[in-house]
């Protein structure tokens, strides 16, 4: 549908709205109450069940009655709740994946793995995005329980405070009681007695290996970008960074660890701030994600610094744009993580008896690291 001067137009058929019901006027005057299926039923003079049948198209409805319902839908600008409808027809048997966003390659690749395996198992996939809001995540879990989804897969790092543990444990038990399975994907387990599977990457091992790669090239002052206090993914990656420093007898310097979100803009802004605050006291950068690294590279170049001639840099994840910028990074088997989560959820195994599954990582060497010679 597209707006016109008098109302809405769909395809080549214009349907002018009546006075006081113009969607543009409603939008400009501020938020209005959402039109419900009950409003449509009252406007058409039929029951709610009749409206539902007319819109679904899967039940015989008299043509004149259907026309009244569709006219009421147009006049009230009613938008059916497609998500609720999809859930109701999809479950049971649906596999729901709950992620922070779909515009991040990290989450998109894991979601792709979930969808591929779910399709191979004859299940429908439902993707829910939270925008990093833990309350939305918890609400989605409750919705999936009510809709009897066969599996709910939660993806991404979280802040594991007591409130999160308590509520998520409660939902895990609720899902299990309704015949569903909870899978924690890319995050740590909730603890003993919680019926949830866990599939994760070896983030600490990957970070330790790539930091050792920098240390082997002679770098000792390595700036770490990506501290997110309390976040489980951040905690495991910085732990690997610090462990590698200790392995090589290098004391970790708090001044070389900077807070930064896991996106490109944050990498750019954080690096710009670091370069303008004082003299450059590092020879290499470990970015906690490839997106952070891409932003940091842009800031370094704007500051007149070349990669790797002046500053070496490594990332983590091995997602676009790592290969495009020649970034040495840690490869994660994203799609396999998604597939493994689905296989585990549908395996029929007891989550209380299954140990966490950890997928390995490896360093991908490209051209963003230069050995530190005597001239530097």
Which of 67, 85, 103 is the endpoint of a domain? 85
Same domain, 281 and 255: yes
d(CA 49, CA 59): 11
Same domain, 325 and 236: yes
Estimate the crossing angle of helix 63-76 against helix 48-56, to 10 degrees.
90
d(CA 23, CA 32): 10
Q: What's the token pair of residue 158?
A: 């979280």
For the domain that residue 232 is a member of, what is the CATH number?
3.40.50.2300
d(CA 318, CA 105): 10
Same domain, 267 and 317: yes
Same domain, 62 and 96: no
| Residues near 138 by beta carbon (within 8 Å), at least 6 away in sequence | 167, 168, 171
**Helix count and strand count (H, E) for the chain:** 13, 15
Number of domains making up the chain: 3
Spell out the SS3 assignment of 70-102. HHHHHHHCCCCCHHHHHHHHHCCCEEEEEECCC
d(CA 376, CA 374): 5
Other CB atoms within 10 Å distance of the CB of residue 24: 14
Same domain, 49 and 138: no
**189 CB-contact burial (10 Å; exposed 0-12 / middle 13-18 / buried 19+):** middle
Strand ranges of the sheet holding 284-287, from the earlier edge strand across to the other edge:
257-259, 222-227, 284-287, 312-314
Same domain, 24 and 93: no
Q: Does residue 288 fall inside a structural domain?
A: yes
State the alpha helices, DSSP H only, in the chain.
23-28, 37-44, 48-56, 63-76, 82-90, 105-120, 134-146, 162-177, 203-216, 232-247, 264-277, 290-302, 334-345
Same domain, 230 and 320: yes
State the alpha helices, DSSP H only, in 178-231.
203-216
Q: Does residue 180 fall inside a structural domain?
A: yes
On whether the CB atoms of residues 229 and 259 are closer than 8 A, the answer is yes
| Residues near 134 by beta carbon (within 8 Å), at least 6 away in sequence | 158, 159, 164
Region label for 36, one of left (φ > 0), alpha (ψ between -120 and 50) or beta (otherwise) = beta
Same domain, 349 and 321: no
Q: Does residue 345 fall inside a structural domain?
A: yes
Which of 39, 70, 85 is the endpoint of a domain? 85
d(CA 244, CA 206): 10
Q: CA 249: distance to chain centroid?
A: 37
Whole-number pLDDT of residue 7: 34
Of 358, 363, 289, 366, residue with least CA distance to 325: 366
Which of 85, 111, 141 is the endpoint of a domain? 85
On whether the CB atoms of residues 128 and 140 are closer than 8 A, the answer is yes
Of 328, 347, 331, residue with least CA distance to 339: 347
Q: What is the pLDDT along the chain (376 residues), one digit of tens a residue?
A: 333 333 333 333 333 333 344 432 333 334 456 788 888 889 999 888 788 777 765 567 788 888 888 888 878 877 665 545 554 444 447 999 999 999 899 999 999 999 999 999 999 999 999 988 877 888 888 888 878 889 999 999 888 888 888 888 988 998 998 889 999 999 989 888 999 999 999 999 999 999 999 999 999 999 999 999 999 999 999 999 999 999 999 999 999 999 999 999 999 999 999 999 878 899 999 999 999 999 999 999 999 999 999 999 999 999 988 999 999 999 999 999 999 999 999 999 999 999 999 999 999 999 999 998 744 4
d(CA 151, CA 322): 32
3-state secondary structure of 317: strand
Domain region containing 328: 203-332
Q: Does residue 369 fall inside a structural domain?
A: no
Radius of gyration of the chain (CA): 26
pTM over 0.85: no
Whole-number pLDDT of residue 75: 85
Same domain, 91 and 142: yes
């Amino acid at each position: 549908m597209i707006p016109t001067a008098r109302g809405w137009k769909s395809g080549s058929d214009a349907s002018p709205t009546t006075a006081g019901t113009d969607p543009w006027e409603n939008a400009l005057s501020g938020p209005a109450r959402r039109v419900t299926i009950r409003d449509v039923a009252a406007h058409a003079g039929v029951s709610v069940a009749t409206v539902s049948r007319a819109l679904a198209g899967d039940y015989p409805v008299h043509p004149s009655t259907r026309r009244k319902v569709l006219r009421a839908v147009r006049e009230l600008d009613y938008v059916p709740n497609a998500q609720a409808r999809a859930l109701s027809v999809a479950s049971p048997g649906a596999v729901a994946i709950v992620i922070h966003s779909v515009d991040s390659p990290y989450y998109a690749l894991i979601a792709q793995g979930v969808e591929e395996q779910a399709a191979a198992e004859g299940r429908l996939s439902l993707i829910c995005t939270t925008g990093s809001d833990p309350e939305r995540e918890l609400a989605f879990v409750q919705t999936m329980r009510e809709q009897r989804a066969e599996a709910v897969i939660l993806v991404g790092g979280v802040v594991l405070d007591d409130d999160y543990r308590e509520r998520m444990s409660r939902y895990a038990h609720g899902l299990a009681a309704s015949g569903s399975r909870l899978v924690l994907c890319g995050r740590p387990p909730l603890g003993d007695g919680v019926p949830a599977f866990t599939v994760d990457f070896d983030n600490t091992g990957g970070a330790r290996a790539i930091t050792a790669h920098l240390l082997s090239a002679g770098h000792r002052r390595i700036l770490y970008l990506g501290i997110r206090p309390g976040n489980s993914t951040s905690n495991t990656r910085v732990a690997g960074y610090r462990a590698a420093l200790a392995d090589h007898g290098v004391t970790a310097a708090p001044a070389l660890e900077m807070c930064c979100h896991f996106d490109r803009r944050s990498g750019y802004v954080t690096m710009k701030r670091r370069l303008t605050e004082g003299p450059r006291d590092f020879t290499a950068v470990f970015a906690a994600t490839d997106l952070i690294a891409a932003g940091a590279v842009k800031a370094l170049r704007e500051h007149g610094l070349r990669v790797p001639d002046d500053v070496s840099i490594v990332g983590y994840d091995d997602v676009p744009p790592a290969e495009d910028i020649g970034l040495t990074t840690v490869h994660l088997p994203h799609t396999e993580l998604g597939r493994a989560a689905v296989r585990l959820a549908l395996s029929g195994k007891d989550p209380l008896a299954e140990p966490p599954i950890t997928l390995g990582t490896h360093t991908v060497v490209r051209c963003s690291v230069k050995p530190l010679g005597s001239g530097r």
